[in-house]
Structure 1
Amino acid sequence: MKYIMIMAGLLFTSCYNNSGHQHDGNDNHLGDKISEETPRVHYTSWTPKTELFVEFPALIVGEESRFAAHFTIINKHKPITKGTVTVILIQGNKGIRQTENAPASSGIFLPVLTPIKAGTYPLQFVLNTDEYSDSITIPNIQVFASLEEAQNTLGSEKEDGSGITFLKEQAWKMQFQTEKIRRKQVYETISTSGRWQVSPNNTQKIIANANGKVNYSKSNMVIGQTITKGESIMVISSSGFTTNNANSNLEVAKLEYQQAKAEYERKKDLFKDKIVPKSEFEIIEQNYLVKKTQYETLSKGYSPSGYSASTKNIYAPISGYLQSVNVANGSFVTEGSELFTISTSNVNILEILAGQEDVSKLNNIKIISYKNNGNQWQSLPISQFSILSIDNAIAVDKPNVSVFVQVNANGNGNGNVPQGSFAEVSLSIGDGMEGIVIPRTALMEDYGTYSVIVQLSGESFERRNVITGKIAGSEVEIVDGLHEGEVIVTEGAYQVKMASMSGQAPAHGHAH
């Protein structure tokens, strides 16, 4: 009953073939050590964590069968190098089993079973490693009463030889990855670009709170330097401004203010009489107000002996980094002058550019995909972004519509993206329809024809032409050529293709 409960929780996909190659722990083919008359079988099974490719002689009552069980970790497609494997031939509430406490060679375990009763039984493999455990069951494994029965049942079936042989040892030594084909929602897409920005709420400009000389209190005041909230950045001191500079600055400001005021008063009457156009008068009025403010600011705290002595510390109101520094160390500033700007490192506003023809679709964005700082596609569902605004204004120097999107902190993964940097963007819009979708890395192109590598079993592959549909970020729709549940190569496909063009299959006696 124990074994039945284990099986009930399994999800698996198995591929069957009745020929294969056996291996021992040295560099030899197991077929050299067992009767060439015994038919051989191999199976491939996938779980979310593990791929099992196992080869063994047909199971015959009273005959020892050695399994060559290749275990691959699905993530990164690497072999199991440490761990134990128990193989169990389940017969009702009982069974025969053997445990291998370590692989004979990287990724390959060699357990042995000797069946005692003919029939059809589940064959279970239980894997235990330091990182995880897994259990794989292959159903309906036949145990034959005799060699003759096995030969009559299996002996006449042959491989057609049309597949591409690519050994596990080859795949394990390179960057290789497989993935089971799935169905998901496929949307209409818009391919465009965007620019990362810091939210205006995460940027602060710091202004002078007094007239005086600026002294840096923080060393190495360079753009990009880390700033901590509350630390002193600058000191403004009015001490020592008794003559010359202070008086000269005030006199210049007073003269410029008087000139601007005189021109403003003169043009004000002409504007009322509609002699001076409004645009010209507004410029004159703005200049007058600026000069007035500058003069009044310099006048504060000034006496014939100079400015009243005072020292003002300038503290950082937020943590972040220096985005800009607007005054030099030792320079004179007036109250209200911009000193520096601090910005947080949370670059979470993406300005997306879209064509005029797509304006009506922009309120129905379901997924935003973009290339992150590592040049990898990252997709955000609608729960991880919000559209702040859509700027529909079009001009000669602004032919595109701007969509401002705020990316949620738990989904951006782009904290190291520099402010103002550009990104490739793909927008998925509309309601979508279910279809087959695969990673774009799985596609191979030859003169406009696309193909993928399909894994038929552990070491057997085929190249298959496909017809592509919509492209969204790192994924592409397959309109024809693939079926849900098949396994494809998503990384390393070209190496498998080259193996098919080499003119000969790799030797089966690969080292273990």
Structure 2
Amino acid sequence: MTRRRFTVAAMLLATVVAAGCSRRAESPKGDPPSLNVTNWTDKTELYMEYPPLIAGQSARFAAHLTRLGDFKPLPAGRPNLELKPENGGAVTVLKGSEPSRPGAFRIEGVPPSAGRYRWALTIVAPGISDRHDLGVVTVFPDEASTGVASQPDDPTAIAYLKEQQWTNEFATERVREAELRTAVRVPAAIEPLPGGEAVVTAPAAGRFTASALPGVGSAVQTGQSLGRLEPRLSSNGDDRATLAAAVAEAESAADAARIDLTRAERLLAERAVPARRVEDARRALSVAEARLGAAQARLAQRDQTLRTGGGVAGGNAFVIRAPIAGRIAEVMATLGASYDEGAPLFKIVRTNRIQVRAQVPPSDVAAARGVGSIAFEIPGRPDPVALQPRRVRDAGVIDPTTRALPVQFEVDNPGGQLLVGQTGTAVLFKGERQRVPAVSKSAVLMEAGRPYVFVQVGGERFIRRPIEIAARDGDLIGIRAGIRPGDRVVTRGAYEVQLASAAKGLPAEGHVH
């Protein structure tokens, strides 16, 4: 009896162990692999996720549709999937429904019999009708024959979901070929034109006065009054009052000499005086007239000194005037202060027309002398300033310090957007053009001086791609290496894509369909 119980217990234990081993040997069934396809037309972008298609088994397609006009989700409409046998035959249509939320559409249906099909998604929505041709898809006869695993992810790819793209500022564009002007990029600085800079000095020793002292940055016109200089009284007789008195005294002496000469000539005619008396009177008149001329010249010279020194005399004070039109760059004058002759009072710089002084390598001198247009890039400013040179000058002498040829481009400066003394990069556009892949300048980012772009490789996948720049022309940047025509690059929202690269994988909730 005891032996029989032991035998039964042993059999039960063996059964339990075998069952446990059998359960451990069974591998749990995982979720079906997920496939996806991304397609662009001129109107919309389609990103669709779907399982491997098996004949006779219902399949669910999650379609995300984005308007390319504003990169926002398509808010309404009904999509349909069309499957046409590759060798011809009837078209199977799987109908979709209105979106569960803007941009997210669901299509559910049973695929046709096993085989290869050309498939397309069509969408009809208010204000838009579009068709996405998706190439060829295979419908398998059963699950065992699919042999399909989930599409492998590129480990360098950045996940940025449609929900994020629709919420944030975002846009992409297709890389296209364009003919861009070739250019030479050289260091440059902004300088005043020759004669476009003037220092106004005190024409004589005196005290500076003005009803209002002009400030730095004030715009002035040629001949505009900047103030007055009241000459100090001088012990050596060079003040205006003394000079005017000297002129009056010389005029009186000259008049007396003329009267004396007239009397002497009359007396000589009456033989009352000798001829020597007339000669002496004539010499006295000549001396008096010479002294009068000298006195008048000294007074006129004082009154006209500021015609070359920045003003004209008025009464016993000089009116200080601007010799050129421009803006006041420095104010050295102080109201009520006294200055010696030649002391600087103001510095004026012409800013409506300036020159770009570019340091051109000897190998590019011929191209620089024949440029048709230039642009000036300023550090920290996103857009270069386009300029049209009026005149190009150079001395034909290499600078011994930079080993480059200084070339001056005279250009207009409307609005004073370029500042005298500013440094940057001059882009000298040559005459020839080159055909290269091109993107908008907003697509190109910089890190440590190296340019890169974000390429969209799928609806929700992006790759950071370093590039080599071939040319810059206006809003376009030509690319020598890194991307090809047909690639799509991010032009808005690149910073958010960069932030998304810090996240590993998708958010836990994923998509909701």
TM-score band (shorter)? 0.5 to 0.7
C-alpha displacement at 1:485, in angstroms?
Answer: 1.3
Mapped to 2, the partners of 1:41 and 1:310 lie a distance apart of: 88
How far residue 217 of structure 1 moved from its aligned partner, in angstroms, is: 2.7
Give the corresponding residue for 2:302. 298
Partner of 2:384: helix, strand, or coil? strand
Deviations 1:269-303 (A, max 9, x none): xxxxxxxxxxxxxxxxxxxxxxxx999633669xx
| Amino acid in structure 2 at the alignment position of 1:388 | R
Whether 1:86 and 2:102 are equivalent positions in the alignment is: no
Deviation at 1:420, TM superposition (A): 1.2
Give me the whole-angstrom Cα distance separating, in 1, the residues matched to 2:304 and 2:498: 80
Between the two proteins, the alignment pairs up a number of residues equal to 403
Deviations 1:98-130 (A, max 9, x none): 766xx94xxx523456789999555236588xx
2:437 alignment counterpart: 436
Any conservation in 1 of the 2:120–2:131 contact (CA below 8 Å)?
no
Change (3 A) 1:360 1:172: same
Structure 1, unmatched stretches of 5+, are: 1-35, 129-133, 254-292
> SS of 2:389's equivalent?
strand
- Deviations, residues 364-393 of structure 1 (Å, cap 9, x unaligned): 43664542253435274xxx5226123133
Say if 2:485 is the partner of 1:484: yes
- 8 A contact 2:172–2:492 mirrored in 1: yes
In structure 1, the partner of 2:392 is 389
Pair 1:167 & 2:160 matched: yes
CA contact (8 A) 2:469 2:481 kept: no
What pairs up with 1:101-116 in 2 under 5 angstroms? 104=101, 109-112=103-106
Evaluate the alpha carbon distance shift between residue 372 and residue 72 of structure 1 in structure 2; reply closer, same or farther with a 3 A threshold: farther
Partner of 1:280: none
- The answer to whether the 8 A contact 2:140-2:146 is kept is no
Whole-angstrom distance in 2 between the partners of 1:310 and 1:463: 72
Closer, same or farther: CA 457–152 of 1 in aligned 2, 3 Å: farther
Answer whether contact 1:347 1:418 (CA < 8 A) is retained: no
Highest CA radius of gyration, 1 or 2?
Answer: 2
- Distance in 2, matches of 1:182 and 1:242, equals 75
Which residue of 2 is the match for residue 403 of structure 1?
407
Aligned AA (1:509): E
Aligned partner letter, 2:371:
I
More displaced 10-residue stretch of structure 1: 183-192 or 419-428: 183-192
Q: CA deviation at 1:330?
A: 3.0
Tell me the residue number matched to 1:288: none
Q: Which residue of 2 aligns with 1:459?
A: 460
Alignment of 1:43 with 2:47, yes or no, is no
1:69 and 2:74 aligned: no
- Give distance in 2, aligned partners of 1:426 and 1:307: 51
Change (3 A) 1:445 1:334: closer
**1:203-282 mapped onto 2 (5 Å cutoff):** 213-219=207-213, 221-225=214-218, 227=219, 234-236=226-228, 243-244=233-234, 247=237
Q: SS of 1:162's equivalent?
A: coil
The change in CA–CA distance for 1:243 and 1:61 in structure 2 (over 3 A counts) is: farther
1:147-191 deviations in Å (ceiling 9; x for gaps): 988989988475233362512356678897744322234666534
Q: Structure 2: give runs of 5+ residues left out of the alignment.
A: 1-30, 83-90, 113-117, 244-296, 306-312
TM-score (norm 2): 0.54
CA distance in structure 2 between the partners assigned to 1:138 and 1:460 by the alignment: 20
Q: Does residue 1:322 correspond to 2:328, yes or no? A: yes
Instruction: Specify the SS of the correspondent of 1:405.
Output: strand
Structure 1 residue 201: deviation in Å?
8.6
| Structure 2 partner of 1:123 | 122
Q: Residue 461 and residue 235 in structure 1: after superposition, are their counterparts in 2 closer, same or farther (change >3 A)?
A: closer
Q: Distance in 2 between the 1:500 and 1:337 partners?
A: 64
Distance in 2, Cα, partners of 1:204 & 1:125: 71
Tell me if the contact between 2:324 and 2:350 (Cα under 8 Å) persists in the aligned partners: no
Name the Cα RMSD after superposition: 6.2
Deviation of 1:43 after TM superposition, in Å, equals 2.5
Distance in 1 between residues matched to 2:170 and 2:431, nearest whole Å: 35
* 2:359 aligned residue (353, 356, 380): 353
Tell me the TM-score normalised to structure 1 length: 0.54
Q: Is the 8 A contact 1:454 1:486 kept in 2?
A: yes
Once residues 300 and 370 of structure 1 are traced to their aligned partners in structure 2, the CA distance between those partners, rounded to angstroms, is: 43
